[in-house]
Structure 1
Amino acid sequence: MPSTTVRLDAPLDMHLHLRDGEMLNNIAKESAQTFSGAVVMPNLVPPVSSKAEIVAYRERIMKAIGEESFIPYMTLFFKPEYDRVFLESLREDLTSIKLYPAGITTNSEGGVSGFDVEELRPTLEAMSDLNIPLCIHGETNGFVMDREAQFVPIYEKLATAFPKLKIIMEHITTKESVEALERFDNLYATITLHHLLITLDDVAGGMLQPHLFCKPIAKRPEDREALLNIALKAHPKVMFGSDSAPHPKHAKEACGCAAGVFTAPIALQVLTELFETHNSLDNLQAFISGNARQVYGITPLKKQVILEKKPFTVPADYKGVVPMYAGERLAYSIREVKHG
């Protein structure tokens, strides 16, 4: 019996960490080989917060990926002092602006400390008028399992105050975030691979699994089911965003374990198996690309990824970065990538 094949057109990763320096050079190709493009996060040290920094970071990414066909969709680190003139000057250079609550995740110390609508109004109204989406890491500083649910009222406040502003709830992990999508026309969301698969029990229910530790932390089974339900249906307001976040092995397997799950090299294979298992393969194309094109209004590079049902053993590491499912066998392999 011939192997099952699945063809994905122009896969997009709408939330990706490529880091910088040696790490960028080591791992950027793992996304560029199979994805047509990705929304690249700006939380470097220092964060990407000017036109010159956007241009320079894009150039470093393009150098790191070599001959691969890939568009880095650039983002700016949100600051409330951005004015309309500044945003107009770089509109052609960025895809979105990323807002981090101060200190909530990796390299976010310069983020927003409060969410006073009037303080944020000049920047957010300019973004709305210029059709620049706002991506938000939505967590408070409360109890770790409640942080995202506690942030939902802030999403609601912003969605109400700026009804024409596209607001992307990044890497959602809770049923409360899923429910919020239906209440506001201008709320959208990205969902990661790992949050479709794991709960907190997988991270810390037995021996601690550092390579599954991430922020937002994985939640309860009912939260995972809510995410699965909306992703498998490819609801038009949700998109795949890996939040693939590489850290060197020594930073993960240590006290003070760094937060992030590295999934870039295995995302398409595992998503294909997951959607097939749930009899939803017909919806994978929309989740992995179609919805993002509509939400962001982008036209990705032509690239077709052909997967086949042939076992693939995940390498133990990729140049010192341990991936999710390291050493395990996956049902699908990438057979070929076609360009143009």
Structure 2
Amino acid sequence: MILELHSPLDMHLHLRDGDMMKLVAPLSSASFAGAVIMPNLVPPVADAGAVQAYRQRVLDACGDDVFQPYMTAFFRSYSEKELSRLKELVFGIKLYPAGATTNSEGGVKAMKDAEATLSIMQEMDIPLLVHGESHGFVMDREAEFLDVYRDLATRFPRLTICMEHITTAAAVQLLDEFENLAATVTLQHLLITLDDVAGGMLRPHLFCKPIAKRPEDREALLQAALSGHPRLMFGSDSAPHPIHAKEACGCAAGVFTAPIALPRLAALFDEHGALDRLQGFVSGHACALYGLNPPARTVRLQRREMLVPDAYEGHGQKVVPMDAGCTIPWRLI
């Protein structure tokens, strides 16, 4: 069986920089027509000049592939003039609570400090993307943050707010409470629970933030994706780290899924008889919600087994993907 996807998009992607980006960027541009690129580098991508320079490095790394990088800027206090300039360059502004995840130490410490910038963003129609976690107990961090989403959605009703990489049934329910809320969900959170990460031998290459949750949470996310919820989109949150940072006592958070994302999604939707909903999940919903017009490109997949490499290597870097060494039932052709 052959499946054609038109201009698939990854609405949440980490490409890092330097040699790591040279390795991983082509693994995304081989599958996707575009992606929303996260800004949490060191230092973060937080002004117009940095956005332009990073975009060019992404394009250089992707070579001749037809690929549109939708850039983001790291949330800070911006003036109206600064946001006016950024609006021409970015898809949205990414808000991290300070210290919530990789390279987020310069994030927002108190939401009240963000209000002036959020007001300007609302007037300029610049989307807000949020890593929505508190600093509470690790399994409760997303749930504790949902009231922040409620407050933002209520006080900024014309601001499009994307709840990034949601992991809980409660977040799925919240998606239906406010029309200005949207969400992305990752491949791993559609497939695994915390038991897969730490129920037996610890599997560091499945450790990410937000951490995988309970079976009922995974089921709610999966049903929302399979049913074609119009404000739920695929965002891989593919986050490469070198092996020495993953297979370590201080394991870095992030699952590298870029090279297997579309084949694994095809297998999942096929398993549930929902292949007709995959186009919306990986492109249609995002295009309708944000008015995107990605490069015209057709990506073809086949229901034929693929052996996932143990690692991807190049430019002095080595990264282990999800499902390393396993056989999956679909492949890119």
Q: How does the TM-score come out when normalised to structure 1?
A: 0.96
CA distance in 1, matches of 2:118, 2:150: 14
Number of the residue aligned with 1:91: 87
CA distance in 1, matches of 2:307, 2:329: 9
Number of the residue aligned with 1:51: 48
Choose from 319, 323, 333 the match for 2:321. Answer: 323
Q: After superposition, where does 1:164-175 map in structure 2 within 5 Å?
A: 164-175=158-169
**CA deviation after TM superposition for structure 1 residue 66, in Å:** 0.9
Number of the residue aligned with 2:268: 274
Choose from 313, 330, 333 the match for 1:332. Answer: 330
Number of the residue aligned with 1:338: none
Q: After superposition, where does 1:219-234 map in structure 2 within 5 Å?
A: 219-234=213-228
Choose from 100, 120, 124 the match for 2:96. Answer: 100
Residues 54-106 of structure 1: CA deviation (Å, up to 9, x unaligned): 00000111111111110110000000x20211101221100000000000100
Choose from 302, 306, 317 the match for 1:308. Answer: 302
Choose from 23, 32, 44 the match for 2:29. Answer: 32
Number of the residue aligned with 1:176: 170
| Structure 2 counterpart SS, 1:123 | helix
Choose from 123, 126, 133 the match for 2:117. Answer: 123
Residues 148-183 of structure 1: CA deviation (Å, up to 9, x unaligned): 000000000000000000000000000111111111
CA distance in 2, matches of 1:254, 1:13: 29
Letter in 1 for 2:319: V
Q: After superposition, where does 1:154-233 map in structure 2 within 5 Å?
A: 154-233=148-227
| Structure 1 counterpart SS, 2:138 | coil
Most deviating of 262-271 and 288-297: 288-297
Most deviating of 201-210 and 300-309: 300-309
Structure 1 residues not aligned, in runs of 5+: 336-340
**CA deviation after TM superposition for structure 1 residue 309, in Å:** 1.1
| Structure 2 counterpart SS, 1:247 | coil
Letter in 2 for 1:82: Y
| Structure 2 counterpart SS, 1:223 | helix
| Structure 1 counterpart SS, 2:258 | coil
CA distance in 1, matches of 2:173, 2:7: 29
Choose from 261, 264, 268 the match for 2:255. Answer: 261
CA distance in 2, matches of 1:120, 1:221: 35
Number of the residue aligned with 1:42: 39
| Structure 2 counterpart SS, 1:98 | strand
Q: After superposition, where does 1:246-257 map in structure 2 within 5 Å?
A: 246-257=240-251
Number of the residue aligned with 1:21: 18
Residues 284-333 of structure 1: CA deviation (Å, up to 9, x unaligned): 00000000101221100011111111110000101110000001001011
CA distance in 2, matches of 1:89, 1:142: 36
**CA deviation after TM superposition for structure 1 residue 250, in Å:** 1.1
CA distance in 2, matches of 1:297, 1:249: 38
4+ residue segments displaced more than 3 Å: none
Most deviating of 120-129 and 6-15: 120-129
| Structure 2 counterpart SS, 1:97 | strand
| Structure 1 counterpart SS, 2:209 | coil
**CA deviation after TM superposition for structure 1 residue 231, in Å:** 0.5
Number of the residue aligned with 1:78: 75
| Structure 2 counterpart SS, 1:90 | helix
Number of the residue aligned with 1:11: 8
Q: How many pairs align?
A: 329
Q: How does the TM-score come out when normalised to structure 2?
A: 0.98
Structure 2 residues not aligned, in runs of 5+: none
**CA deviation after TM superposition for structure 1 residue 276, in Å:** 0.6
**CA deviation after TM superposition for structure 1 residue 233, in Å:** 1.1
| Structure 2 counterpart SS, 1:44 | coil
RMSD: 0.6
